[in-house]
Amino acid sequence: VAAKKRQTGSAIYSPQLDAGSQESLSLLSELRRAVEGGQLRLYLQPKVELKTGRVISAEALLRWQHPERGLVPPMQFIPFAEQTGFIRELTRWVLAESAQAWAALNAQNQALRISVNLSTRDLMDQDLPAKISAMLAQYGANTDSLCLEITESAIMDDPQRALETLNQLHEMGFKLSIDDFGTGYSSLAYLKGLPVDELKIDKSFVLAMETDLGDAKIVRSTIELAHNMGLTVVAEGLETGMAWKLLAELGCDEGQGYFIAKPMPQEQFSAWFKAWSAPDLSHESVETMLG
């Protein structure tokens, strides 16, 4: 079934794919070629402070510029890379590219933190913390330049090992963030012991909050929970001006979403940053919008 699906061209990866199958092996070698042959692209999407519109950081999001299939979104190859362990190669590429992007933006006075997504396999890699510092040092970036985003489910795969790695990363000075909060199965009792700085409300709640009272309540209580735990809270999936206003009223610290900007390549991001930060544009209009 998986092979047929792939030939008809809709999805590169389907969860039915057998790890040892011919198809899986060929996808793996295609991915390897993607890394070596320069087919990966790093996209950046801003996170801004809702009170002021100030750009705080940018999330690094991976894309695959495939020679025949065009720009492939991460959900079509990241789960496969996680399943096979190849994700470590991808993470290494993303970290190096992010450090480089940070240095380039910083040189243009566009100082911000870059957020990189980590998966379970990365957390199981005991050399990860050392690899990250080496990568940053190469570009003159310090630990404060980077935030690491981890989903609840990635942590819950092996909570003990995850906690060890997270503690180590935290002690080194990296900011840590819980991604897609509200969609996993972690308990609050467990979360309170994690050395995290930030919580990202999953976009499913934020996208629905304007029309669904239940979602609005989840968003409101998550913001309160985060603040009670001393965490910065970020809303992902901020798609409208009304959502911005509501989130700001609820005290949400930061937002990320299509209303602000879609993920884009570094050059474009830099131009966006410049336009957004022009004094006559963003800051005043944010104040007007918030009334």
Tell me which of 97, 122, 125, 149 binds Mg ion, using CB under 5 A.
Answer: 149
Residue showing tokens 């309170």? 192
Tell me which of 27, 128, 238, 246 binds ligand C2E, using CB under 6 A.
Answer: 238
133 near Mg ion, rule: CB under 5 A:
no
Residue 209 or 238: the one with the smaller Cβ distance to ligand C2E is: 238
Where is 276: in which H helix or E strand? helix 266-277
Residue showing tokens 């022009």? 278
Which phi and psi (to 5°) does residue 136 adopt? -65, -45
CB 20 within 8 A of CB 28: no
Where is 55: in which H helix or E strand? strand 55-66
Total of chain residues touching ligand C2E, rule CB under 6 A: 23
Please state the separation of Cα 77 from the chain's center in Å: 16
* The one segment of 70-78, 123-131, 190-198, 219-227 that binds ligand C2E by CB under 6 A: 70-78
Nearest to 236 by CA among 212, 213, 252: 252
Tell me which of 61, 141, 223, 231 binds ligand C2E, using CB under 6 A.
Answer: 61
Where is 153: in which H helix or E strand? helix 152-156
Tokens of 64: 């695959």
Query: Rounded distance, CA 267 to CA 105, Å?
Result: 9
Residue 98 or 282: the one with the smaller Cβ distance to Mg ion is: 98
Site string for ligand C2E, 124-153 (x = CB under 6 A): -------------------------x----
254 near Mg ion, rule: CB under 5 A:
no
For 27, half-sphere exposure in the C-beta direction (CA atoms, 13 angstrom radius) is 27
Residue showing tokens 């006075």? 109
Question: Least distance from C-beta 116 to ligand C2E, angstroms?
Answer: 7
198 near ligand C2E, rule: CB under 6 A:
no
179 near ligand C2E, rule: CB under 6 A:
yes
49 near ligand C2E, rule: CB under 6 A:
no
Site string for ligand C2E, 84-123 (x = CB under 6 A): ---x------x----------------------x-x----
75 near ligand C2E, rule: CB under 6 A:
yes
180 near ligand C2E, rule: CB under 6 A:
yes
The residue nearest ligand C2E at its CB is: 257
55: partner contacted, choices ligand C2E, Mg ion, none (Cβ within 5-8 A by kind): none
Nearest to 59 by CA among 73, 74, 78, 44: 44
Query: Rounded distance, CA 220 to CA 143, Å?
Result: 31
Which residues contact Mg ion by CB under 5 A? 117, 149, 179-180, 236
